[in-house]
Amino acid sequence: MSRQAINDWLSIFLKIALIIAIAAGITWFSVSIYANAKENDIISDIPKYPKIEKAQYEVVFKATNNILLTNEYEHPQDNIYIINGYWEIKDGKYRYNDAILPLDETYFGNIDVRRRTQ
């Protein structure tokens, strides 16, 4: 092979490598922008709490960190709570359920009921 033929092949190889590098850079840039935009959507998907006037208490299940909100509850025994109407997360939003919900720490683990401040 002559020197000219080697230079031609090397030139073609470098052009192809440059095109691949540019395509990879554009792909990386596009994926980075998409990932950052999607991450912000995840953060903004946190549901808004109902007003404190509608749900004064926060019921936290310590084992799972699930939260129910309620305006009225009873604590008749040491490890039993009775919630009269509660807010729970369904389909990414807090939805109200008008049911009476008895909760026993024997089944659900530690339950923490605290007054909401904000």
Q: How far apart are CA 91 and CA 45, in angstroms?
A: 11
Q: How far apart are CA 29 and CA 20, in angstroms?
A: 14
pLDDT in tens, the chain (118 residues): 788 888 889 999 999 999 999 999 999 999 988 887 776 555 556 678 888 888 899 999 998 888 899 999 998 888 899 999 999 988 878 899 999 999 999 999 899 999 998 7
pLDDT of residue 81: 93
Parent domain of 1: 1-45
The model's pTM is 0.59
Residue 11 falls within a domain, yes or no? yes
One domain, residues 36 and 84: no
One domain, residues 2 and 25: yes
